[in-house]
Structure 1
Amino acid sequence: MEGLDINSLEEEALKRKKRLENLKRKAENEKDTHKDNLKPKFRSYKPLDKTLKEDSQEENGKDTGIEEQIQDQLELLKTPITIDEIDITNLAPRKQDWDLKRDISKKLEKLEWLTQKAIAELIRERLKMNQESIFEAVATAELQSEKSDLKQS
């Protein structure tokens, strides 16, 4: 164990211990904050319990942001829309089967390749059959020419 130094190993062990302690502390803090967030929120229900009523009233007082959001939306509607910014090509609806064609295109390419390969194989077989029939025709022609030569002599 030439490259290992005992001091460096101890230092690394101490660093590891510190990291583990930090992770444990962090996990405990997250548990505590999670417990605080577990209070029920009553949006469409008014609780009968007094302590829960107080909590729900505090939350209801915080909902003033909705009115501000509505006002912001109304102000945005008042601003004029320029037609130059709208791209008309994006407004046209897509065909119903556009996603099917996209998903199947790779499979269709493979099928097309296999089809071309099969057609080429069939053509080769037919050419071989024709070649054999051509050889037979040539052979019969030679036989006939030899017979005619024999008859003539």
Structure 2
Amino acid sequence: MASEEDSIEQAAAARRERLKALRAAKELLSTPDEDSVPSENKAEEFDDAEEENKLNMKFRNYLPHDTHLQEGKVAPPVLPKFEDPVASAPPQPEKVEDPFVNIAPKKPNWDLRRDVQKKLDKLERRTQKALFQLMEEQERQNQTVAEENGEIISAD
């Protein structure tokens, strides 16, 4: 068990050393070297740093109370003139009719027709069938009369 504790402590110590090395490398990368940035005039660097610290604010929709900030007010944009050819010609007024004038009433027997329609359809089929039977019967009578008279009738 002692060997396990020793190995755990060694691993923890190794991890601490790696973290320290990473922190040191990060600090070295974040701080600029004076040798790597060639500068001829230190006053120019100071002015640049001062300009970066100064805020440049622009206000489009807000007018601040402070006079220094009012200088940052941006003028509203000027929109170009645009004439819409469709909107320029007013639509011609159409003659509006009263919708209640053209309402046609239903026929007084519409409900009776609706209720009796099935029976009428059945009767129509029977009527057609009866007419067909009468036609066949009449045709047979014509053939018998023609045979008695000796006439030859071809069946079409």
Q: What TM-score does the superposition give when structure 2 sets the normalisation length?
A: 0.31
Tell me which protein shows more helix as a share of its residues: 1
Q: What TM-score does the superposition give when structure 1 sets the normalisation length?
A: 0.31
Larger radius of gyration: 2
